[in-house]
Amino acid sequence: MSLREVIISTTRRVPAIPTAAARVSTLLQNRDVKISTLSRAIEHDPALAANVLRMANSVYFSGPRTVGSIKEAIMRLGTSRVSGLTLASAIAPLAGVAIKGYDLKPGDLWQHSVSAAVCVDQLIETLALEAPDYTFTAALLHDIGKIVLGTFVDVDAALIMELAFKEGVSFEEAEMRVLGISHPEVGAILLESWNLPKFVVDAVRWHQQPDEYEGDTEQMIIDLVHAADALSMVGGIGTGSDGLNYRVSKLVAERLGLNNAIAETVVLKMISGLEEVKELFGEDWGR
């Protein structure tokens, strides 16, 4: 078995997400899902529902008004946003641990995930784009492959680091060359096994190679996740030993209408947004 095959089979053995979250992922496939159906699916798991409500009540999502129930949260924030928060709540324990290989402390990957999701919101708003709401979910999950690949990166760290930092190869390309697979691809395989919609899987799979994507998912979603990931790294939020060693696509910047001045505005709004979303982090934000 090649190393690539070993990694893929390891990915398939990652524990499934809670049933309620999996049910929500399936419902997310249908964009016209009924509010009552979605709220029942979330309320099926009271702990999950409580967590979703806690997040929905952060200033960032609902302002000063309190949201009392899942149904109200869906009406106020929309189905996509609440589905995103449900998935966030389900993956938080997985993304909250220390990750070897990338030298991530507990909470780092989680902060990076949330900052990319908040950044996507700010990019959409600042650039006045008409992007689907689930882009938030795709940004939130973009680096989830690191939870599996970290162990393998750790074993071959010297070789990967050499390629990345001495030869100027982007980190995911170095993973590809040494391990036969990169963390975006591992992430896509993981999300597929959790039954996430194809457009989320595609955005995660191609977020580091946005210009190579050929498929049905809207290019804008992939571009937004690419740019949001880039600006979260610029902000240094939850970055590890891979640092900022990723290529930024000029074509994405052109397609989105993004330049350095706009990037500074978006980074500013991202940092401010993260301060309003502290409920997602507990006490550890910025630490």
Partner 1 sequence: MNHVIGISEMKVSNKPGDALVTYSLGSCVGVTLYDPIAGVGALLHSMLPLSKIDRRKAEARPFMFVDTGVTQMLQTVFDLGAQRSRLIVKVAGCASLLDDKKLFKIGERNYTVLRKILWKNNILITAEDVGGTISRTMHLYMADGRTTIKSGGNEKVLA
d(C-alpha 246, C-alpha 229), whole Å: 10
Nearer to partner 1, 144 or 169 (CB): 169
90 burial level (CB within 10 Å; 0-12, 13-18, 19+): buried
d(C-alpha 22, C-alpha 42), whole Å: 10
The answer to the question of residue 248 lying near partner 1 (CB under 8 A) is yes
Question: Least CB distance from residue 168 to partner 1, whole Å?
Answer: 7
Helix (H) or strand (E) holding 230: helix 219-234
For 1, residues 6+ apart whose C-beta sits below 8 A from its C-beta are: 9
Stretch that binds partner 1, among 42-50, 126-134, 177-185, 225-233 (CB under 8 A): 225-233
The answer to the question of residue 140 lying near partner 1 (CB under 8 A) is no
Nearer to partner 1, 75 or 129 (CB): 129
Q: Which residue has the tokens 């995660």?
A: 204
Tell me if 113 sits within 8 A of 238, measured CB to CB: yes
The answer to the question of residue 149 lying near partner 1 (CB under 8 A) is no
d(C-alpha 142, C-alpha 203), whole Å: 7
Question: Given candidates 18, 96, 197, 238, which one binds partner 1 under the rule CB under 8 A?
Answer: 238
Nearer to partner 1, 73 or 266 (CB): 266
**Which among 209, 150, 153, 195 has a CA at the least distance from the CA of 26?**
195
Count the residues of the shown chain that bind partner 1, applying the rule CB under 8 A. 40
Binders of partner 1 among 74-113, rule CB under 8 A? 103, 105, 108
Q: Which pair of tokens denotes residue 277?
A: 């979303």
d(C-alpha 150, C-alpha 141), whole Å: 16
If you count them, how many residues does the chain have?
287
Tell me if 219 sits within 8 A of 86, measured CB to CB: no
Tell me if 245 sits within 8 A of 159, measured CB to CB: no
Stretch that binds partner 1, among 65-73, 85-93, 191-199, 255-263 (CB under 8 A): 255-263
Question: Given candidates 97, 234, 255, 279, which one binds partner 1 under the rule CB under 8 A?
Answer: 234
Question: Given candidates 69, 93, 151, 264, which one binds partner 1 under the rule CB under 8 A?
Answer: 264
Nearer to partner 1, 155 or 234 (CB): 234
Question: Least CB distance from residue 75 to partner 1, whole Å?
Answer: 32
d(C-alpha 210, C-alpha 246), whole Å: 12
Stretch that binds partner 1, among 36-44, 116-124, 180-188, 232-240 (CB under 8 A): 232-240
Question: Given candidates 167, 212, 260, 283, which one binds partner 1 under the rule CB under 8 A?
Answer: 260
d(C-alpha 106, C-alpha 99), whole Å: 7
Question: Least CB distance from residue 52 to partner 1, whole Å?
Answer: 26
Binders of partner 1 among 159-188, rule CB under 8 A? 161, 164-165, 168, 170
Contact residues toward partner 1 (CB under 8 A) are: 103, 105, 108, 161, 164-165, 168, 170, 230-231, 233-241, 243-248, 250, 253, 258-260, 263-265, 267-268, 271-272, 285-287
